[in-house]
């Protein structure tokens, strides 16, 4: 897996979140749903799940259900509507193994791989929950911007250790800058968001580097999109702590 490909996917996905977040909740929902579909196509190859088409369908359906539930849910906290989608994702993955069984000895690997992908897809709905929470719309743009910058810095040099420091530094600095740009966030809150965003990128990159490199382009792209989808929860929690 080419780190540059992964970083490009991360940056591109973060830009999608930032731009659609500026346009409003409806467009953000479309952007998040599109990223879920992209991740769903490559996730089974990334985790070497046996039933790839079934796995992709379950991941995409789980993410779509969560996005729709949070987008049309009434009353705060909006993220609570994603709980039903998470439960449905678990049931779907277990049912899939019953009706589309994996080869003997691969059942646990397939179920856990599908379930992990489905939960990541469901967590992406947190971007919408953050957007819909009063005062948090700027936080969505700030968090996505920090993710994009951290993704670029993660492949700035050939040294992974240097890249880690650069990613953390630039992510934190970008967050502080966003805090000054959006006064309701504040520089301290922005720095917290930047650190969380950069840490998410670094952790996913570290895990990906420890796995055998898949030859599939869709798997590499899914690896890059994953930290963007999962970071929605971090941004939402930051918004609840900073804004209330």
Q: Which domain holds residue 112?
A: 3-242
Q: Which residue stretches of the chain are H helix?
A: 3-23, 25-46, 52-72, 82-99, 107-123, 126-132, 137-153, 160-181, 187-210, 217-242
Distance CA 26, CA 163 (A): 35
Handedness of CA 129, 131, 133, 138 (dihedral sign): positive
**Per-residue confidence (pLDDT) for residue 31, from 0 to 100:** 94
**Per-residue confidence (pLDDT) for residue 16, from 0 to 100:** 93
What's the total number of domains in the chain?
A: 1
| Predicted model pTM | 0.87
- Per-residue pLDDT 10s for the chain (244 aa) are 567 778 888 889 999 999 998 888 899 999 999 999 999 998 888 877 777 888 899 999 999 999 999 988 887 777 888 888 888 888 888 888 888 887 777 778 788 888 888 999 999 999 998 888 776 668 888 888 888 888 888 888 777 788 888 888 888 888 888 888 877 777 777 888 888 888 888 877 777 666 666 677 888 888 889 889 988 888 888 777 765 5
């Amino acid at each position: 897996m080419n780190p540059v490909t992964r970083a490009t996917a991360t940056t591109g996905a973060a830009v999608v979140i930032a731009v659609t977040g500026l346009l409003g909740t409806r467009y953000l929902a479309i952007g998040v749903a599109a990223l879920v579909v992209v991740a769903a196509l490559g996730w089974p190859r990334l985790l070497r799940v046996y039933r790839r088409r079934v796995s992709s369908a379950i991941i995409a359906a789980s993410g779509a259900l969560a996005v729709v539930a949070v987008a049309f849910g009434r009353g705060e906290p909006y993220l609570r509507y994603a709980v039903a989608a998470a439960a449905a994702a678990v049931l779907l993955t277990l049912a899939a193994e019953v009706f589309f069984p994996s080869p003997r000895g691969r059942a646990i690997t397939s179920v856990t791989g599908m379930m992990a992908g489905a939960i990541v897809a469901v967590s992406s709905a947190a971007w919408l929950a953050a957007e819909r929470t009063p005062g948090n719309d700027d936080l969505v743009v700030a968090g996505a911007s920090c993710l994009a910058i951290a993704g670029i810095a993660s492949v700035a040099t050939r040294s992974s250790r240097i890249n880690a420091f650069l990613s953390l530094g630039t992510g934190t600095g970008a967050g502080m800058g966003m805090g000054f740009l959006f006064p309701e966030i504040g520089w301290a809150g922005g720095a917290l968001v930047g650190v969380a965003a950069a840490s998410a990128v670094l952790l996913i990159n570290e895990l990906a580097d420890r796995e055998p490199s898949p030859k599939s382009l869709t798997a590499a792209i899914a690896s890059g999109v994953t930290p963007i989808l999962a970071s929605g929860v971090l941004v939402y929690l930051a918004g609840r702590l900073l804004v209330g």
